[in-house]
A and B are shown apart, each in its own frame.
Chain A
């Protein structure tokens, strides 16, 4: 059980660093947003891996609720970043 928890938790950390590295390396808005979302998915995965209690036990519902909140906040932030980028582009065109 612990080995699966560890496997997914470390995969989450790996995903976080992959996303963070790409966010810092990219210079354009949309690739950066994609990388930032991959980075966030890594955080969610680590959280849920820690909540997992094995195949027979009920998983801890508190991290589940937090990550559910996180997914909705992430999509709101994404939409706002896209709108900000669109506004900048419109200002550039004038």
Chain B
């Protein structure tokens, strides 16, 4: 009986998710689309919680729904709707895309149906759980992220840094918001300290319960984004040198600790036994700061010191080439 009830809940969640995904993709009004996308992210967070992935539920609620939504809403004004002159796909093209999508769905579902009960998916999880005591933390996801597969996380930080460098090189900072009204300012005074404390809690608790550097970093970034929207110019008090240090500190410390471990243990990122818990906490703290700085800059959209990238019009020979 209980199983049947759970199955009904699952079916309801899946149906809602598919409908939300469909109307998010199909909506022509972009504001409506972004709002639906935020709702989609929150529903997905619920589904992660249902599938016993609370770390993901936290990350999805903050990043997938919150920060992505804020980023996209801020970008609406960059792209004025092109009006009725938007080119449409030809009917033939639309039909072939639909047909291809349907065929792809059928083939992939069929192969999933055939293979799902034949793979032994417990092997890796058994391996992780049996080695958990040596990892220095007791949350298996944090152990995988920062110990067993630390290379992945290191390279992920490199990807985030590269994306932010590209954003900084591409465009100037977006114009700031007006100072907020009394109501929003009052709410910010309550919310921002709570967010900062929650970020610290998530970072600390990540060692033995759901949480960790990504969730904490995203929550700090959310506090900064809220301040920015309330008209506090978060960039003005921050000099460029400090910003560079904040952006790089996560990956620099990670590589530094990896190299020291290579000198001590002959192997990159192979933590000494007994020190693993402390080293993971140090790396996570630095990564939190870097991720928060990166996501805040991604939202602000450029360097906070007013520097602007060189445009083609300032280079006469270049623009002449374009015109000819």
Contacts and interface: CB of A to CB of B under 8 A. Distances in A.
Contacts of A64: 53, 55-56, 141, 144
A66 B34 CA distance: 26
A30 B125 contact: no
A80 to B, nearest CB: 4
A19 B97 CA distance: 12
Question: Mostly helix, strand, loop or mixed at chain A's interface?
Answer: helix
B56 A83 contact: no
B10 interface: yes
Contacts, number: 254
Nearest to B80: A89
Contact of B79 (A24, A30, A49, A53): A30
B128 A61 contact: yes
Interface in A55-87: 55, 58-62, 64-69, 71-80, 82-87
Contacts of A82: 71-72, 75, 78, 301
B97 A25 contact: yes
B103 to A, nearest CB: 9
Interface string B65-77: 0011001100110
- The interface centre, meaning the residue of A6, A17, A68 with most chain B CB atoms within 10 A of its CB, is A68
A48 B63 contact: no
Contacts of A5: 116
A73 B152 contact: no
B21 A6 contact: no
A91 B313 CA distance: 9
B1 interface: no
Contacts of A19: 21, 25
Nearest to A87: B170
B129 interface: yes
A51 B145 contact: no
A53 B11 CA distance: 18
A21 B153 CA distance: 31
Given A41-B21, A85-B75, A20 B104 contact: yes
B131 to A, nearest CB: 11
A2 B128 CA distance: 22
Interface residues of B, number: 95
B178 interface: no
B184 interface: no
Nearest to B111: A13
Contacts of A90: 171, 311
Interface in B165-195: 166-167, 170-171
A20 B102 CA distance: 11
Given A52-B52, A62-B128, A79 B291 contact: no
A4 B68 contact: no
Interface of B: 6-7, 10-11, 14, 17-18, 21-22, 24-28, 30, 33-34, 37, 40, 44, 47-48, 51-53, 55-56, 59-60, 63-64, 67-68, 71-72, 75-76, 78-79, 81-82, 86-89, 94, 97-98, 101-102, 104-105, 108-109, 112-113, 116-117, 119, 121-122, 124-125, 128-129, 140-141, 143-145, 149, 152-153, 156, 159-160, 163-164, 166-167, 170-171, 212, 214, 218, 291, 294-295, 298-299, 301, 309, 311-313
30 contacts: A4-B10, A5-B116, A10-B113, A11-B14, A15-B18, A18-B18, A18-B21, A21-B25, A21-B98, A22-B26, A30-B79, A35-B25, A38-B24, A38-B25, A44-B44, A60-B121, A60-B124, A60-B128, A61-B128, A61-B141, A62-B128, A62-B144, A64-B141, A65-B149, A75-B63, A76-B294, A79-B163, A80-B163, A85-B78, A86-B301
| A-B pairs, 6 with minimum CB distance | A22-B25, A79-B298, A61-B140, A60-B125, A76-B163, A21-B101
